């Protein structure tokens, strides 16, 4: 008899309508050589009832509902239909499960499944380990970053405050009061050289530029020194770099120590950024820290433009050439132009 997927076997005994221990009566009870009982239901007009299918184990249904009268009258055809070709299905079959468990194909499939599962679990564990290691690596980087930043926290807070609106101007005003005596001394010196007229700051030093407060004196003092040494008393066509000016200002005046410390931190941060490493500074912090050379560049660029025109900036690493050095006449012309413009505006 065909039982499942083309497999067939010969029952040792087949009994019709035999009561089971569950007090149920299947159409046929087939006993196999190993003593297993298979219950066979013939579906003509009614399929197996759910209660019977649930109560009995090893229940197979043979579907004869579509067999016609001619086929029934032909005993040979009917036998072939019942034993081989009729549709059949299992409702519950622990015997077939056991057979499948024992089959080489099932064992090979289970072995492959175990291998696939083991490989998947190893891959999953490896991915978890890699993720943990990456998280630990990021955590160590973050801890290292915090440790490197820790000595500079107070300095960074100062820089951020100074970057606030109007804070640099307030700081310059306090410097002016503290350095008033040296400012007057510088003014008299510039007048004695004929670089400016009485009571007027040296033309080019009077306006604030970005970061000019990072020097440990008032900008009127150190800017006048730079202009005297590198422009007024230098030959036309002489050149210098912003880096050289920063070194001279450092030597004669110095920069605020806390800003020097932050400048070194910013240089390290820039190196990290170029190498694609984790940065030490936020964008806001980096913008608030002014390198000494950046302060000098801001001042020298101002001297290169109108209304000054003392310098010409060259391409490259912040190089400058002296193109004009008569500050007194240039200053007089400048104030004359301002006066003329104010008169014209008043006359309108």
Is 192 inside any structural domain?
Answer: yes
User: Has residue 123 been placed in a domain?
Assistant: no
In angstroms, what CA-CA distances link 321 with 218, 233, 297? 25, 13, 13
Higher pLDDT, 189 or 307: 189
Mean pLDDT of the region 196-215:
89
User: Distance between CA 309 and CA 236 in Å, rounded?
Assistant: 12
Count of the separate structural domains present in the chain = 2
Sign of CA dihedral 326, 329, 335, 341: negative
pLDDT band at 338 (very low <50, low <70, confident <90, very high): low
Rounded-to-integer distance, Cα 86 and Cα 2, Å? 9
DSSP 8-state symbol, 87? -
Characterize the bridge pairing of strands 2-4 and 7-8: antiparallel
pLDDT band at 117 (very low <50, low <70, confident <90, very high): confident
How much is the mean pLDDT over the chain? 85
Residue range(s) defining the domain that contains residue 305? 155-347
CA distances from 254 to 167, 225, 282, 314 (A): 21, 13, 27, 27
Contact assessment for residue 96 and residue 4, using Cβ atoms and an 8 Å cutoff = yes
Q: Are residues 319 and 209 in the same domain?
A: yes
What digits encode the pLDDT tens for the residues 264-321? 999 999 999 999 888 999 999 999 999 999 999 999 999 998 888 899 999 877 999 9
Q: Which helix (H) or strand (E) holds 220?
A: helix 219-227
30/303: higher pLDDT: 303
- Whether 179 and 247 share a structural domain: yes
- Calculate the dihedral angle through the C-alpha atoms of 19, 20, 26, 30, rounding to the nearest 10 degrees: -110
Name the domain boundary from 63, 87, 102: 102
233 within some domain:
yes
Two tokens at 135?
Answer: 């998280």
pTM for the full predicted model = 0.60
User: Within this chain, do residues 200 and 341 fall inside the same structural domain, yes or no?
Assistant: yes
Least confident residue range of 7-16, 39-48, 306-315:
7-16
Task: Give the pLDDT score at 55.
Answer: 77
Q: Where are the beta strands (DSSP E) in 178-251?
A: 239-241
**Mean pLDDT within 71-81:** 79
């Amino acid at each position: 008899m065909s039982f499942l997927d083309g497999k067939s076997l010969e029952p040792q005994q087949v009994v019709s309508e035999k009561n089971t221990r569950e007090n149920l009566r299947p159409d046929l009870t087939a006993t196999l050589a190993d003593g297993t009982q298979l219950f066979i239901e013939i579906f003509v007009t009614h399929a197996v009832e759910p209660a019977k299918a649930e109560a009995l184990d090893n229940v197979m249904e043979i579907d004869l509902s579509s067999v016609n009268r001619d086929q029934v009258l032909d005993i040979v055809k009917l036998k072939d239909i019942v034993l081989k070709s009729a549709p059949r299905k299992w409702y519950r079959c622990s015997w077939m499960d056991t057979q499948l468990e024992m089959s080489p194909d099932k064992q090979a499939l289970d072995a492959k499944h175990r291998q696939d599962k083991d490989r998947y679990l190893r891959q999953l564990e490896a991915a978890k380990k890699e993720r943990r290691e990456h998280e630990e690596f990021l955590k160590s980087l973050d801890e290292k970053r915090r440790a490197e930043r820790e000595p500079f926290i107070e300095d960074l807070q100062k820089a951020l405050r100074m970057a606030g609106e109007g804070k640099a101007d307030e700081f310059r005003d306090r410097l002016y009061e503290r350095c008033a005596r040296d400012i007057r001394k510088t003014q008299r010196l510039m007048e004695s050289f004929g670089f400016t007229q009485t009571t007027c700051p040296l033309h080019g030093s009077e306006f604030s530029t970005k970061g000019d407060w990072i020097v440990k004196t008032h900008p009127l003092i150190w800017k006048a020194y730079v202009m005297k040494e590198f422009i007024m008393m230098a030959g036309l066509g002489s050149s210098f770099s912003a880096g050289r000016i920063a070194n001279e200002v450092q030597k004669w005046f110095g920069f605020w120590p806390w800003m020097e410390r932050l400048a070194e931190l910013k240089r390290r941060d820039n190196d990290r950024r170029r190498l694609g490493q984790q940065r030490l500074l936020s964008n806001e912090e980096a913008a608030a820290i002014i390198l000494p050379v950046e302060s000098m560049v801001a001042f020298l660029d101002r001297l290169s433009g109108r209304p000054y025109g003392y310098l010409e900036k060259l391409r490259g690493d912040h190089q400058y050439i002296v193109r004009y050095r008569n500050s007194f006449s240039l200053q007089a012309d400048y104030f004359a132009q301002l006066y003329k413009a104010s008169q014209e505006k008043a006359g309108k």
